[in-house]
Every structure is written in C-alpha cells, then in structure tokens.
Chains A and B, each alone.
Chain A
Amino acid sequence: MSSALTDVRRSTVAEAAVERPDRKKKPPTLRKARTFYLFVAPWVLGFVGLTVFPLGYAFWLSLTDSDGLSPRTHFVGFQNYVDIFHDPLTLSSLAKTGMFALVTVPLSILAGLLLAVMVNQPIRARGLYRALIYLPAVVPPVGAALTFRLIFDRDAGAANGILSTLGANPITWLVDPNVRYVLYALVLWGCGGSMIISLAGLQDIPRELLEAAQVDGASYWQSFTRITIPLLSPVILFQVITGMIGSLQSFAPLLLSSGSLSGAGAVPQGNYLYMIHVFAQYFSASRFGYASAMLWLLFAVILLVTLLIIKVSARTVFYTVEPEGTSK
C-alpha cells in the first residue's frame, strides 16, 4: 500500500477530529493512549492479581513456618530454603524430575519430527494419518492416565496379555520399578502434538529452496540436514523450551496412581516427581511454608533452564526473519 495514500487518509482523520470540539478536548494521541490502557486493563489486572500477587504471597509464606491452619505463624527467614537442601526426598524428587524431562522431551520432539516428515510426504490419505496420530494429544490428561492404568493393569491389562501370548511372564507395571516406563509411554502417546507443530514448521519452508537443492544434486538426507533442520530450528527450540517447562512441573504420576491431591504421598517412588512432593507437602503434611519455598525453587529452576536453553541455542538456531512481536 502506498504511503502517500495513507498519509492523506491520516490527515483527513486528524482534520475530522479537530473539527469536532465536542469529542476532542484532548490531543488524539492522549485519548488513544487512555483507550489503550482501557483495552489492556483486564489482562494487566489479571496478571497482577492472579500471577504477581500469588507469587509474592508464596514468597512471603516461604519465609514462615505456616501450616495453613493455626493463625500464629513465625517468620523463619530462609530456613525453609536451607531445609530443602538437607531433605533427601526433595532432592531426589528434583533429580527424578530432571531425568523425566531429559528423557521425555527429546524423545517426544524426535518422534514428532519424524512423524511430521512422514505425513508431509505426498501419499494418499495423509490428512487421515495426521488426524489419527494427533488424536491422543487431545485426549484429556485424566482420560489418558485412566486408559494407561487399564492397559498396564496386572491381570486385566493388554500389556500383560500381549506378553502372555508371546510366552513371557506377566509384569506388575504400576508399581516400582516399572511404573516409570508407563509414565514415559503415557507422555510419548501425546507426541502427535509435537508432530503438528513440526508439520506447521515444515510447511512454512519455501518449496523453491528444496527444489533448488535437488537441481544442484543434493541427496534427500543432505537437503534435510542442511535446509530443513536449520529452517526448522526455531520451531524445535520452541518445543524444547515449552517441553522443559511443562515436564518440570508435571504431576502426571498423580493421575496414574491415586488420582487425588491428598493421595500424592502414595505415588510410587519411581514416579515421585517434584510437583508430587509439593502436593504431598501442602495437602498431606500441611507444611505450607516449606512447600511454598519448594514452589519458588521450582520457579527459579525453570527460569534458569529456560535462559540456559536460549543462551546455548543462540548460535545454533537460525532465524530467516527477526522474531515477530518484538519489533513493531
């Protein structure tokens, strides 16, 4: 669109505004600014009231010995944070959560990428393949966990049914040490979500680039590693970050076990992730101060991990254009 045209239009608007003294006591930019604040107010209020204030409240709680019930709480300084680093259960749950993230995030992204490449090929009924592979990702978490509880049931489950037809002994899946594999399988079942994101990224790659490479005699593998992967790297980075954030705060094992917050303490050790321990501290042990300190530690860890990923990836991630949103 020509800028001369828009300039003309803008000036007509300004003149029209000047001609109407009843509406225009203030200069138009000021009115526009006030309108802007009116429009973003719901989000700003929600952000302050439902994010900033709760985080602050949790921080204040983390400095006390509050149990949530007795009115008298004592200020204990950073004692809860010191205690965290002397609590083997908390530290081991943190280690398990790190392990869980390091296993499931790369596997999900890899599986999703592989599937995305496959369903991006010109084959018949690929729309149907895409939909059916993505389907598990839209099953609500509770429904998915219940389904996996039924599949891995010791007696009536399909997993042991398959093992017995193969002549193997049945396995008690839902207790230690096997239950962690059920959790991994449950998470990987949703890798269709990653497939859809990677597929959108693949479809954004200009066809001419790949065709030019083909003309120049590049093999499929060469154009995949030299063109597709670099152009897809922002999409992969996005998935690594959201995947890490999601899995560090995962409480999926709770749904796989008792399915109630107060039953968090009964989750098998192999699946005793950090958030499970937080729930157990809040809702079984009533150690509100300690649990709030745990939440703040998680917050700090997630923040650090995110910054670390962004920092490390800065040299390897390739942007064709400036990241959107920050400009304009």
Chain B
Amino acid sequence: MTRTYRWALSLVLLAVVLVMISPILWLVSSSLKSSADMASFPPTWWPSQPRFENYTEAITSVNFLGAAQNSLTIAFISTTLTTLSSAWVGFGFARLTAPGKKQLFVVLLATMMLPGIVTLVPTYLIFAKLHMVNTYWPWVAWGLGGSAFLIFLFRQFFAGIPREMEEAAIIDGCGYVGIFWRIFLPQSWPVIAASVILSFTHAWGDFVGPAMFLSQDSTTLAVAMATGYVNDKGLPMNNLVAAGAVMYVLPVLILFLFMQRRFVSGFSTSGIK
C-alpha cells in the first residue's frame, strides 16, 4: 500500500469520525449554554461562558436522582438475573441431552427473530391484570426467562470446554448443578462480561418497557429524559435537556470506553455464520 493512499484513507476516516462525534460535541456544548445562548440565531457554537449550573438545575428541577436510582435498580435486576439464567440454560443446551433438545434449540434460535415489541404490549396488559404494573416484578420475570441471544453465546462457549472436566467431576460425585456452578460458570467470565455489558446497556437504554410498566413518578432516567424539561409556560428548556442527557448517556459511554474490546467481541463471537 502506498503512502499517499494511506494518508488519503486516514483523512477520510478522520472526516467520518468528526461527523460521527460532532452530535455528541453539540450535546455537550448545548448543555453549557445559558438560555440567552439558546435563543440566539445564528446559534452559539460554543458558549463563551460555560454555564455549569445547568447540571445542578437538571438534577433538581426534575426527580433526576430518583429516576437514576430506578434505572440502576432495574439495570441491576435485569443484568444479574439475565446473565445467570442465560448461563444456566446455555449450560443445559451445551452439555446435556434429552429427547426434544434439538427442536427446543431451533425454537430458541427462532425466538431471536421474534419482534419483541409485538409481545411487549400484550405482556403489559397481562401484568396490568395481575396488578404487577408499577413494580419491578416484570423485570424479574424477564430476567429469569433469560435472553435467547445470551443463551446462545453461553451455549457456544460451554460447548467448547473439554469433556474431561465434567467427567472428572462426576467421578468425584459432583452433580450437574455443581459442575455448572463450580467448574463451568467460573471459566466463562469473557461471556459473563459480554452479557453484563449487553444487558446493562439494554436495560439502561430501554424506553418502552418503563414507559409502559412504570408510572411517571417511579420511572427510569430514559423516560424522564425523553419527556424532558419544561418551564412553567410548558416550553422545553433545551440547555437543561442537554445537561440531563449528558448525565444519562455518560455511564454507558464510560462503560464502552473502558470495555470496548468486550463490546466488540460480544458481537463477533455470536457465531453469525
């Protein structure tokens, strides 16, 4: 490859990166503007006097901390339960045999293609009938059911562990629950990491779930931010919206920057082919 070619490619990529990153820069810039900056046209590119009070106001003018706590609780419930349950089921598909296993596995793969939202609305109606709306029980149920994609990931990983491991354990009198818990699960930390990241970002980002299943005062950050900040005239206060959005997005971005290899491998080990 020639040097000029390399330079040209780097320039193009640099331009792409700028385009991709500029919305985030605009969000940060907006979060530091005063309401006067927000009203001026043409717009202020970067506020001459950054207004950091936007952040404290974004926290105090809506129930930011309460919503953040709800987001964290739901993310924690879904992440732990989904990961554990998916590993458990994935172990079954990888190491045990029974009549009907093949058919069940095909059903599992097919559910990955199911449109989630089609089942979500009727699920809401059922939970409403059971008076479990506005509780965390729906997330417990979803978590315990596991995720088809993560079950598949765990199954692929567990299927690659040498058989000698479990046979030695069986000779020592260890049951399959023990084999799963003491031998297989501790080895699967790369998949656990991918699973934790994927379920956390999913739960943190989910909008329809909490919008349907939780009332406005016990909702998550995703919903609280989407409805936004309005002043007493009902007009949106966009600098506070931006500050709130920055704080909402930041945990996911930090998680990504520290764990980007895991993010990427979570998809590339999915065995698409």
Determine whether the beta carbon of B167 is less than 8 Å from that of A143: no
Which of chain B's residues 132-179 have a Cβ closer than 8 Å to chain A? 141-142, 144-146, 148, 151-152, 156, 159, 162-164, 167, 170-171, 173, 175-176
Given contacts A49-B145, A51-B119, A142-B248, 11 further A-B contacts (CB under 8 A): A13-B167, A42-B88, A43-B151, A50-B141, A58-B121, A123-B10, A131-B260, A133-B17, A138-B253, A140-B249, A235-B272
Determine whether the beta carbon of B225 is less than 8 Å from that of A164: no
Which of chain A's residues 26-51 have a Cβ closer than 8 Å to chain B? 29, 32-40, 42-47, 49-51
Interface size on B, residues (CB 8 A): 108
Determine whether the beta carbon of A299 is less than 8 Å from that of B21: no
Determine whether the beta carbon of A47 is less than 8 Å from that of B222: no
Using CB atoms, name the residue of chain B closest to A236. B272
Bound CA span A291–B124, Å: 14
Interface: A319 (CB within 8 A): yes
Report if A135-B256 is in contact (Cβ < 8 Å); known contacts: A9-B164, A148-B23, A325-B152. Answer: yes
Determine whether the beta carbon of B122 is less than 8 Å from that of A295: yes
Interface: B30 (CB within 8 A): yes
The 7 closest A-B pairs by CB, nearest first: A46-B145, A39-B92, A140-B205, A200-B268, A259-B226, A33-B98, A36-B96
Selected from A142, A200, A324, the residue in CB contact (under 8 A) with B225 is A142
Using CB atoms, name the residue of chain B closest to A148. B23
Which of chain B's residues 1-31 have a Cβ closer than 8 Å to chain A? 1, 6, 9-10, 12-13, 16-17, 20-24, 26-27, 30
Interface: A57 (CB within 8 A): yes
Please name 15 pairs of A and B residues whose Cβ atoms are closer than 8 Å in the assembled complex, sorted by A. Answer: A13-B171, A40-B104, A47-B111, A50-B123, A58-B125, A61-B125, A140-B252, A143-B249, A147-B23, A148-B23, A197-B268, A258-B227, A278-B121, A321-B273, A324-B273
Determine whether the beta carbon of A164 is less than 8 Å from that of B42: yes
Q: Which residues on A sit within 8 Å (CB–CB) of B256?
A: 131, 135, 138
Determine whether the beta carbon of B20 is less than 8 Å from that of A189: yes
Determine whether the beta carbon of A16 is less than 8 Å from that of B264: no
Bound CA span A260–B230, Å: 14
Report if A39-B13 is in contact (Cβ < 8 Å); known contacts: A142-B205, A156-B40. Answer: no
Bound CA span A324–B270, Å: 11
Determine whether the beta carbon of B253 is less than 8 Å from that of A139: yes
User: Count of A-B contacts with CB under 8 A?
Assistant: 307
Report if A150-B108 is in contact (Cβ < 8 Å); known contacts: A189-B20, A288-B125. Answer: no
Bound CA span A323–B273, Å: 6
Q: Which residues on B sit within 8 Å (CB–CB) of A170?
A: 41
Report if A136-B26 is in contact (Cβ < 8 Å); known contacts: A32-B96, A50-B123. Answer: no
Using CB atoms, name the residue of chain A closest to B245. A146
Q: Which residues on B sit within 8 Å (CB–CB) of A1?
A: 162
Determine whether the beta carbon of A150 is less than 8 Å from that of B273: no
Which of chain B's residues 222-253 have a Cβ closer than 8 Å to chain A? 222-223, 225-228, 238, 241-242, 245, 248-249, 252-253
Kindly provide the distance from the CB of A55 to the nearest chain B CB, expressed in whole angstroms: 6
Query: Which B residues are within 8 Å of any A CB, using their own CB?
Result: 1, 6, 9-10, 12-13, 16-17, 20-24, 26-27, 30, 33, 37-45, 85, 88-89, 91-93, 96-99, 101, 104-109, 111, 113-123, 125-126, 141-142, 144-146, 148, 151-152, 156, 159, 162-164, 167, 170-171, 173, 175-176, 180, 201, 204-205, 207-208, 211-212, 222-223, 225-228, 238, 241-242, 245, 248-249, 252-253, 256-257, 260, 263-264, 267-268, 271-273
Report if A133-B10 is in contact (Cβ < 8 Å); known contacts: A9-B164, A50-B145. Answer: no
Kindly provide the distance from the CB of A310 to the nearest chain B CB, expressed in whole angstroms: 10
Determine whether the beta carbon of A251 is less than 8 Å from that of B238: no
Place the interface of chain A in its size category. Answer: 35 or more
Interface: A84 (CB within 8 A): no
Q: Which residues on A sit within 8 Å (CB–CB) of B272?
A: 197, 200-201, 234-235, 238
Bound CA span A141–B145, Å: 24
Determine whether the beta carbon of B163 is less than 8 Å from that of A6: yes
Q: Which residues on B sit within 8 Å (CB–CB) of A295?
A: 118, 121-122
Using CB atoms, name the residue of chain A closest to B204. A140
Bound CA span A38–B164, Å: 23
Interface string of A298-311 (1 = CB under 8 A from B): 11001000100000
Kindly provide the distance from the CB of B45 to the nearest chain A CB, expressed in whole angstroms: 7
Q: Which residues on A sit within 8 Å (CB–CB) of B142?
A: 46, 50
Selected from B13, B39, B212, B248, the residue in CB contact (under 8 A) with A129 is B13
Determine whether the beta carbon of B201 is less than 8 Å from that of A138: yes
Determine whether the beta carbon of B1 is less than 8 Å from that of A131: no
Q: Which residues on A sit within 8 Å (CB–CB) of B271?
A: 324-325
